[in-house]
Chain A
Amino acid sequence: MAKSGGFKEYQRENPKKIQIEERIKNFNEFEILLPKNNIIEQASRCMDCGIPFCHTFGCPTNNFICDWNHLVYKNHWKKALELLHLTNNFPEFTGRVCPALCEKSCTLSINFEPVIIKQIELQIIEKGWEEGWVLPIISNYKSGKKVAIIGSGPAGLACAQQLVREGHNVVVFEKNNRVGGLLRYGIPDFKLEKHIIDRRIEQLKAEGIIFETDVNVGSDISINYLKRTFDAIVIAIGAYEPRDINVIGRDLKGIHFALDFLINQNKINAGDKLSDEIINAKDKEVVIIGGGDTGADCVGTAKRQGAKSITQIEILPEPPKERQIYNPWPFYPKIYTTTSSHEEGCNRLWSLSVSRFEGENGFVKKIYLKKIIWDENNKLEKTSFRESNEPEIEIKADLVLLATGFLHVKLDTMLTSLNIKFDEKGNIKVDNNYMTSESKFFAAGDSITGASLVVKAINTGRKVAEKVNLYLNSI
């Protein structure tokens, strides 16, 4: 138990950030870690609840939050790290990019500010790296079984690590030249600098995982080879199929999917050669369609590229400032939030849908929007909407980024040749053991759930590993 009544003694203290003018000059991370003593105080705010909603309800990987809060409060950082690693292979990723469902369900958040769980998590793992506590854990048992993992995003990596520690031979295939998947390519550096991934990959390698990059399974190597060589194969290829909007003018130049835009910048930062065209927002009137996290990442990236203006459009109405009666704690709050990217400057518009694009010389120039009216036909959720009769709104736009979400896993040659079954949403269908319709092929991460959070990907990666392990031990 942390300090009794600690939350009354100490207020929540959020980590400081580098000043906006400074931070937008580059793509580096800008959050400053709190001093360790403050972290201990902050950890003491944890109430060690009889029912830790953070651990059992909020956190998808069920991190033992209250327990490591206690250990941090007692200054047992190393033990806290061991405990954190027990449920989360990569806390340095989630500690940076997780939307912190735990904090939303923290019981303190009912009447007070929640514990800064995410920051504590980050500090535990960063201290671990600093102190050299993050060492390869090499299994003293070798099963002789071979596993292939396709895709090196958070799900694939977590799965790989769990399996190599069970004593299996693990090979990870990645179609890009660097591993990390969306972690590396989708998340802007200012949220996750990529050397953070690299140092973790070193640990994974040391534990025995073999990474095969620039390998496109299905074309560079055959499915039959996979089947022949490996005892189990885990597909963890994400859910890259973006949702498009089919309106007049969609084919104009200057309209891109958000992810292409983000990948572009990440590759530039990494010094990679770019095969695609460069999408840059410099001096442009940027309009981002979609009010979610990807949209926000586009805002920050466009800002750093030097956009002239940035507007973000959302079809949903502007959320309320506070929780509404039908959206109480501990459920995820549907409230107005301002991300750090939004702080950096952006115009946000609500209840609008794109009706058409207008361009000049094949390049987009304007975007027309229709006002949306939401009906409140059910107390629990606002479900139906219609377009209003008001006249269209016209906005200038040189660069339009579609951050309207992802549909499902991208159907590639591998999947087609495998003849794998999909669920009604278009994601890979798995049974209770996470096995696909194809024997010894398993699937993990976004490819089975649709696009979701890093933390959820890590979690399914771990769960799949558990099942794969059982499977391997049974054959």
Chain B
Amino acid sequence: MKRYTKANGCLLQNGLYDPRFESDSCGVGFVAKLDGLPSHNIINCAIKVLINLEHRGALGGDKSTGDGAGIMIDIPDSFFRENLQNDSIKLPDLGDYGVGMIFLPSNEKHKENCIKYIEKFVFDEGCDILGWRKVPVNNSCIGELAKSTEPTIYQVFVHRGQIKRENFERKLYVIRRQIEKTIDAEKSDMSQFYIASFSSNRIVYKGLLTANQLNNYYLDLSDSRFKSKFGIVHQRYSTNTQPTWNLAQPFRFLAHNGEINTLNGNINRMKWREFHLKSDLFGDDIEKIKPIIIETGSDSAIFDNVLELLVLGGRSIPHAMMMMVPEAYGPKIHMSEDKRAFYDFHSAIMEPWDGPAAIIFTDSRYLGAILDRNGLRPTRYTVTKDGIIVLASESGVLEFTPENIIKKSRLSPGKMLLVDFNQNRVVPDKEIKAKISRQKPYRRWIKDNIITLRGLFTPSNAQEEDEETLLRKQLIFGYTEEELKLIISPMASRGQEPIGSMGNDTPLAVLSEKPNLLFYYFKQRFAQVTNPPIDPLREELVMSLESFVGGESNLLEESPENFKGFKLPHPIITPEDLNKIVIANHPDINVVWIDILFNKKDGEKALENAMESIFAKATYSIQSGITIFILSDYNTDENMIPIPSLLACSGLHQYLSKKGLRTRTSIIIHSGEVREIMHYALLVSYGADAICPYLVLSTIYNMAKNNLLEENLKPEEYIDSYIVAVKKGLLKTMSRLGISTFHSYFASQNFEAIGLCNELVEKYFSGTISRLDGINIEDIQKEAIERHNKGYSNKKNLEYFLPSGGEYSLRVDGEKHFWNPNSISLLQLSTKTDNYEIFKEFTNFVNNDERSPLAIRKILSFKKRNSIPINEVEPIESILKRFVISAMSFGSISKEAHETIAIAANRLGIRSNSGEGGEDIERNLNNSRSKVKQIASGRFGVTPEYILSADELQIKIAQGAKPGEGGQLPGHKVTPDIARVRHTTEGVTLISPPPHHDIYSIEDLAQLIYDLKCINPNSKISVKLVSESGVGTIASGVAKAQADIVVISGYEGGTGASPLTSIKHTGIPWEIGLAETHQTLIYNDLREKIKIQVDGQLKTGRDIVIATLLGAEEYGFATSILVTLGCVLLKKCHQNTCSTGIATQDPLLRAKFSGKPEYIERFLKFLAQEIREIMAYLGFRTINEMIGRTDILEFKPPINLWKAQKLNLSPILNPRIKNTNIYHIPNIQKDVEMYDDNFLNQLQPAIEHLSPIEISLPIKNIHRAVGARLSGYIINKYGQNYLPDDTIKINFYGSAGQSFGAFLTKGITFKIEGDANDYLGKSMAGGKIIVVPEKNASFSPHDNVICGNVTLYGATSGEVFINGKAGERFAVRNSGATAVVEGVGDHACEYMTGGVVVCIGSTGKNFAAGMSGGIAFIFDETQMFDTKCNLDMVDLESVWDKKDISFLRSLLEKHFLLTSSPKAKAILERWESSLPLFVKVIPLEYKKVLERIKQSEHRDIEIVSATEEVYNG
């Protein structure tokens, strides 16, 4: 949920807190009777489902207020009929009346007002009011917060009057929209007013409640006359504690678990479409329902708005869902021609509403559920013999007798399940979609209407420019030598976005003294926690860059007209391609060129006026039938200066959108400015349909000709390769946000502007987040002129060099860097010689010297206060306790450096962090243990022992240098030692998945925290986030998930290897994110519950004092620590050639490491001392007194920096929060409740005496992380591998909750009879888990799903036997466990680095993506496995080796022995004929990998091959 609501007037923007950033996730489910006969039992069952999902919701600061819960059911006709008799209201037949469930303001006058409007519009539209009913509620059971905002709830009964029955639903919608609009426009606070539902067949009961409260609050729900054939329930977990009654779900047509990542783009495009909506069904009413989207709603509510329009506009609900949530249909995916045509056709009129989503929907006839294309939310269902179907986020939410169950299954990615109450049956995905795909001749429509431009995209070519013209243009567009060498050359030579390391230490564009391209005033946004990034490497088959130029007409019409225009496989076109479009002889392609230039002689307003004339020309052109605008800056000359392409593009796009002229027209950018991936991403995101980067292509041509590129290719090949790099980069940029398709990314404006003034943003980039004000359009003009002058300085001969750049590595004429020879040499000298005076020189240089760049903290200064003597300030020792050394992995840095850091930290009694690469357990013994152990998405080395050796466990959601991406360790740094600690293969590049595969959502994070607290209750839990707008809201969610510490990392941080785009353009400074976090937590009454830690280029006492004043109470250091150890920022960490022995694994170089723990100790003590001095000066005795005291700070930019002057930092400094001095108050840690406590006592004697024991226990889905505590107990006592196998055997009966058997250690065997949910065997190390269906289950185990998603994530050893199918991403990141399973979903064995998987049933697609170790055996009965396997990193062969054969057989025998699997039995019985059907999946040999790495030097060939195919395909 990303929009803001006015509900209760609470959610108003305040300081940096903005309700737009709210986000939520949850649990959903439905129960239905296939016979369609209403019963009260269904409602009871639905509520039971809700209660059993309660752990997926959240409580706010006030313990008893839930984030929202609700239920949608049929209209309980007989209940109302009887109930209303008392009020002498006689209801007509069901279907002839509608019921509105209305939340009315508690203020009487407002209430009356609302009622008046409601009745007015009902009458106006020709219906009648039958009467009002006050809904009986009991508010004694609800929380204070909920009570304070509780509305008065009424039901209004409406007769259809003259309206035809078939039009009645539509009319109710029209009435509702008018009521909503009118009341929304009222001046007084009507925020409590809300219409939960208004329908003739469905009704919604919901509120700011917990699952348990729903039933007690609404008395109707317990009335036995209250009946329905189905019940949809929803339990909400919002990241904020200011949720409202209105935002509880279900909405009118759906309930949604997940997040719509693409929402911005969806909303923007719906706005243009509104202008063209026409419908016979609505007739003139169409105007009354506009705007369609209520932007103040949540993502789910907005989805509901559009779904409602489509359904009431005439499409069936499954059809509408297929349009909005299309499954992936790329070339790698097998599907029928008709279905592909359906999706193709609809892509021209509706972009995917994409993101992690399990959506349950109904229009009363159909009840269904659909899953997003990535399958990022769990959805399990059970069908019984007595005609009940229950579907929910988890299995086991309703209990059935085993004999009664016909089917247990799950929804797969992109699939739909439908209950048809007319046919009284469950319709499978294939059947629904086949029927809908053929209802219109989509295939023919496409064939007839597609415009093919012959030769488009065939050979890439570029115009050859003479050297001088080229140089002049490069100067005008601000090219630098560095860009040519560091960015364009690797892209053109290797088709790869370049990688760098050591973060970003240059100023923001607005704090720079140099003119910056407009692009650099924007920062990319990215997904963290509430939605996962997508994996563009291993899961690219769900992604697409296809774009559609033209198209779009009336959304409510199904006609071939919708498909007018042409398709581009990707948005980058060469000048030749563009020419083909220009000369195309087709009635629908009418091109106009518009120069985007301004005349430098036209005065101060030249640029602004030029923009206006572009708009005027465009408007005129549309009237004369133009369909394609080409915005070109090609004709720049001595006087005509290019307008920044982004300004022209976004300006025109927004202008046309607001005028309703944007559909059916396309904008192509023809600009010399565009060259970096960031540029393309911005243009696309701000409305460019396609981009022709003529100058960079000419540049490449010229470089190729002059032999300045790396490989030996033809110019055309370099250009091709460059375009490939751009495409990959775009995919990565989209995936970072969790967006899969270009269609959804287009016009989505997923950027944050820093340093642009509000009027500018409002006019040309409206809707973009921009919080600190900044430069205006005249300043942009000024910078453009400055660049242009370089190209036309008339006096001198042009020098044959561009400015050097210096953005990434320091150059004397380039950008300033925080780390430069002065700062490095002073810091090293002071710590080596233990000289505090030199240290002061260092801090003085960093803080004040003009050679050191600006940061936000540097334009803040202290107000004068009364000083105190320094001896009154708290001592160095107590300040030191707040210091931590941030995560740097063993692998990224050398053993020597890693241990030196830990030793220094331990000597000082502070915490250092292992980083994500695991840690040798031996280090516990020699005082070089890192106290903080990090858990990242790769789960490298995350064993139970590792977790138990931590004082603090840090979940790394994102890191400053590359948020939204996983860590990377190039193969040449993976030495045998590192491979051992990480449980991987030596020499194989390690890439962590972009998302944690057990955190797709906030409730998943809560689950992981719960898991960790179960195994190691003594450890604190921290969650590392990266600063971006909205991070405060996420931090609130983190606090509610019971974490102890939240880390806010600045964008500038980062010691590891990352793509340069991420280093430079993603995330924002910590100052903003920190202030936002502090404010938001206070606002939500959560600040005392959680500690805020900050990191990102902290170097001086001043930096830390400012961080404290902005709300931080702990401080992390990384780069500065490395500098004290001898790092001189070679920025070669990713090449393994660090000559100071720090970021390398080369023994020759490691031997050169000369850092000493003392250096770090001195540095941190110096810092603490300096902090004390500042505290004394400011008159603070303790850090606690300083936390959040923004009143001490004022904005003071240096006079000479004209851009910095224009900022407005008041959102950071002046939140309207009264008491800002609030900080974390440690309380005694409560032990979490866990199921293990019920049996641990019973097992203790056996554990003491190592005597085998076997017990039996019932289990339910609410019992989570079972076994974690037990394992922790055993490991603490004996270590990880001590207990003999099967010492402890527990037989569970029922449905196991999430993370069953997590961290299970050797000696423990769990058997579950029933089924299990997600994350079974997470990080397991030596345990054994057996999953079998209930003994007397009537279904065949082989065909049913009895195990959830993401099984064995990060497991390092142990065994799992599953007599049934499992869900998606089976054994992802398994590095040593063995599993036998009878069917798996998509992406199985992803990123596997060790262990064995035997699958004797069907597999989903993308098997073995990124699998670099271990083996898998697949029983491939259909002989189709090779089409489902991702062959980038593995080979397939038959099982011929004798050892393999006997190994496989023994596993199957064991499987049969433990599970009595009929399938295993059948295979073993016919072994001779079965064996040939087995396929062995093996990662390409280790030797080959080594060879390849050697051949390609440091080039990351895995990445190349992994992503290459999709483009060529």
Taking Cβ atoms with an 8 Å cutoff, the residues of A that contact B are: 1, 4-5, 7-8, 47-53, 55-57, 62, 64, 66-67, 70, 74, 76, 79, 82-83, 86, 105, 107-108, 110-112, 137, 139-141, 143, 165-167, 325-326, 328-331, 379
A50:B812 contact, CB within 8 angstroms: no
A53:B821 contact, CB within 8 angstroms: yes
The reply to whether the CB of B1137 lies closer than 8 angstroms to some CB of chain A is yes
Taking Cβ atoms with an 8 Å cutoff, the residues of B that contact A are: 481, 485-486, 502, 707-708, 794-797, 799-801, 804, 808-813, 817, 819-822, 824-825, 828-829, 832-833, 835, 1126, 1128-1132, 1135-1137, 1139-1141, 1146, 1148-1149, 1152, 1154, 1497-1498
Q: Which residues of B contact A51 (CB under 8 A)?
A: 809-810, 817, 819-821, 824, 1128-1131
A111:B1140 contact, CB within 8 angstroms: yes
Q: List 8 A-B contacts (CB under 8 A).
A: A5-B1135, A5-B1136, A7-B1137, A49-B1130, A50-B809, A86-B801, A110-B1126, A112-B1152
A70:B809 contact, CB within 8 angstroms: no
Known interface pairs A62-B812, A328-B832; A107-B1130 also in contact (CB < 8 Å): yes
A49:B809 contact, CB within 8 angstroms: yes
Among A110, A137, A331, the most chain B Cβ lie within 10 Å of the Cβ of A110
In the complex, how many angstroms separate the beta carbon of B762 from the nearest chain A beta carbon? 39
Closest to A50 in B: B1131
In the complex, how many angstroms separate the beta carbon of A446 from the nearest chain B beta carbon? 23
A56:B820 contact, CB within 8 angstroms: yes
CA A110 to CA B1140, docked complex, whole Å: 8
Which residue of B801, B810, B822, B833 is within 8 Å of A379 (Cβ)? B833
A67:B1131 contact, CB within 8 angstroms: no
Known interface pairs A139-B796, A325-B833; A47-B1139 also in contact (CB < 8 Å): yes
CA A110 to CA B707, docked complex, whole Å: 34
CA A4 to CA B1057, docked complex, whole Å: 15
Which residue of A57, A86, A165 is within 8 Å of B821 (Cβ)? A57
CA A330 to CA B1498, docked complex, whole Å: 29
B795:A141 contact, CB within 8 angstroms: yes
Known interface pairs A112-B1139, A330-B825; A50-B1130 also in contact (CB < 8 Å): yes
Known interface pairs A4-B1137, A4-B1498, A325-B833; A49-B1131 also in contact (CB < 8 Å): yes
A4:B1135 contact, CB within 8 angstroms: yes
B821:A141 contact, CB within 8 angstroms: no
Q: Which residues of B contact A1 (CB under 8 A)?
A: 485-486
Q: Which residues of B contact A110 (CB under 8 A)?
A: 1126, 1128, 1139-1140, 1152
Known interface pairs A8-B1146, A50-B1130, A51-B824; A140-B797 also in contact (CB < 8 Å): yes
In the complex, how many angstroms separate the beta carbon of B1159 from the nearest chain A beta carbon? 12
Q: Which residues of B contact A112 (CB under 8 A)?
A: 1139, 1152
Closest to B498 in A: A1
Which residue of B486, B809, B820, B1148 is within 8 Å of A8 (Cβ)? B1148
The 9 closest A-B pairs by CB, nearest first: A50-B1131, A57-B821, A111-B1152, A62-B812, A5-B1137, A50-B1129, A50-B809, A141-B795, A49-B1130
CA A55 to CA B804, docked complex, whole Å: 12
Closest to A8 in B: B1148
B812:A76 contact, CB within 8 angstroms: no
Which residue of A4, A67, A82 is within 8 Å of B1132 (Cβ)? A4
A67:B804 contact, CB within 8 angstroms: yes
Among B796, B817, B1141, the most chain A Cβ lie within 10 Å of the Cβ of B796
Q: Which residues of A contact B1126 (CB under 8 A)?
A: 110
Q: Which residues of A contact B794 (CB under 8 A)?
A: 141
In the complex, how many angstroms separate the beta carbon of A460 from the nearest chain B beta carbon? 15
Q: Which residues of B contact A70 (CB under 8 A)?
A: 485
B1139:A86 contact, CB within 8 angstroms: no
B833:A76 contact, CB within 8 angstroms: no
Closest to B823 in A: A51
In the complex, how many angstroms separate the beta carbon of A81 from the nearest chain B beta carbon? 11
A64:B1136 contact, CB within 8 angstroms: no
In the complex, how many angstroms separate the beta carbon of B1048 from the nearest chain A beta carbon? 25
CA A140 to CA B795, docked complex, whole Å: 8
CA A137 to CA B708, docked complex, whole Å: 24
CA A141 to CA B793, docked complex, whole Å: 11
B481:A47 contact, CB within 8 angstroms: no
Q: Which residues of A contact B1140 (CB under 8 A)?
A: 110-111
Which residue of A55, A82, A166, A331 is within 8 Å of B811 (Cβ)? A55
In the complex, how many angstroms separate the beta carbon of A171 from the nearest chain B beta carbon? 20
In the complex, how many angstroms separate the beta carbon of B457 from the nearest chain A beta carbon? 32
A50:B808 contact, CB within 8 angstroms: yes
Closest to A62 in B: B812
CA A83 to CA B796, docked complex, whole Å: 17
In the complex, how many angstroms separate the beta carbon of B840 from the nearest chain A beta carbon? 14
B799:A86 contact, CB within 8 angstroms: yes
Q: Which residues of A contact B1135 (CB under 8 A)?
A: 4-5
CA A67 to CA B1498, docked complex, whole Å: 20
Known interface pairs A50-B809, A51-B819, A165-B796; A331-B1139 also in contact (CB < 8 Å): no
Q: Which residues of B contact A62 (CB under 8 A)?
A: 812-813
A331:B825 contact, CB within 8 angstroms: yes
Known interface pairs A64-B804, A76-B708, A330-B821; A47-B1130 also in contact (CB < 8 Å): yes
Among A50, A53, A143, the most chain B Cβ lie within 10 Å of the Cβ of A50
CA A111 to CA B1149, docked complex, whole Å: 9
A64:B1128 contact, CB within 8 angstroms: no
Q: Which residues of A contact B828 (CB under 8 A)?
A: 328
Q: Which residues of B contact A379 (CB under 8 A)?
A: 833, 835
Closest to A142 in B: B795
Closest to B800 in A: A82
B809:A167 contact, CB within 8 angstroms: no
Closest to B1138 in A: A47
Q: Which residues of B contact A137 (CB under 8 A)?
A: 797
CA A132 to CA B833, docked complex, whole Å: 52
In the complex, how many angstroms separate the beta carbon of B1497 from the nearest chain A beta carbon? 6
Q: Which residues of B contact A83 (CB under 8 A)?
A: 801
CA A5 to CA B1144, docked complex, whole Å: 11
Q: Which residues of A contact B820 (CB under 8 A)?
A: 51, 56
Known interface pairs A4-B1497, A51-B824; A111-B1141 also in contact (CB < 8 Å): yes
Closest to B810 in A: A51
Q: Which residues of B contact A140 (CB under 8 A)?
A: 797
Q: Which residues of A contact B1148 (CB under 8 A)?
A: 8
CA A83 to CA B829, docked complex, whole Å: 33
Besides the known contacts A51-B824, A110-B1128, A328-B828, 7 further A-B residue pairs in the complex with CB atoms under 8 A apart: A47-B1139, A52-B811, A57-B825, A110-B1126, A111-B1141, A112-B1152, A328-B832
In the complex, how many angstroms separate the beta carbon of B710 from the nearest chain A beta carbon? 9
CA A330 to CA B1146, docked complex, whole Å: 24
Among B812, B1137, B1498, the most chain A Cβ lie within 10 Å of the Cβ of B812
Q: Which residues of B contact A143 (CB under 8 A)?
A: 795
In the complex, how many angstroms separate the beta carbon of A332 from the nearest chain B beta carbon? 12
CA A5 to CA B1148, docked complex, whole Å: 11
CA A351 to CA B1141, docked complex, whole Å: 39
Closest to A143 in B: B795
B795:A166 contact, CB within 8 angstroms: yes
A47:B1152 contact, CB within 8 angstroms: no
A167:B795 contact, CB within 8 angstroms: yes
CA A143 to CA B824, docked complex, whole Å: 44
CA A192 to CA B53, docked complex, whole Å: 86
Which residue of B486, B796, B811, B1497 is within 8 Å of A64 (Cβ)? B811
In the complex, how many angstroms separate the beta carbon of A409 from the nearest chain B beta carbon? 28
CA A56 to CA B813, docked complex, whole Å: 10
A7:B804 contact, CB within 8 angstroms: no
Closest to A4 in B: B1135
Q: Which residues of A contact B1139 (CB under 8 A)?
A: 7, 47, 107-108, 110-112
CA A83 to CA B804, docked complex, whole Å: 10
In the complex, how many angstroms separate the beta carbon of B1361 from the nearest chain A beta carbon? 47
CA A50 to CA B707, docked complex, whole Å: 25
In the complex, how many angstroms separate the beta carbon of A432 from the nearest chain B beta carbon? 14
In the complex, how many angstroms separate the beta carbon of A471 from the nearest chain B beta carbon? 14
Known interface pairs A49-B809, A53-B1128; A105-B833 also in contact (CB < 8 Å): no
In the complex, how many angstroms separate the beta carbon of B494 from the nearest chain A beta carbon? 13
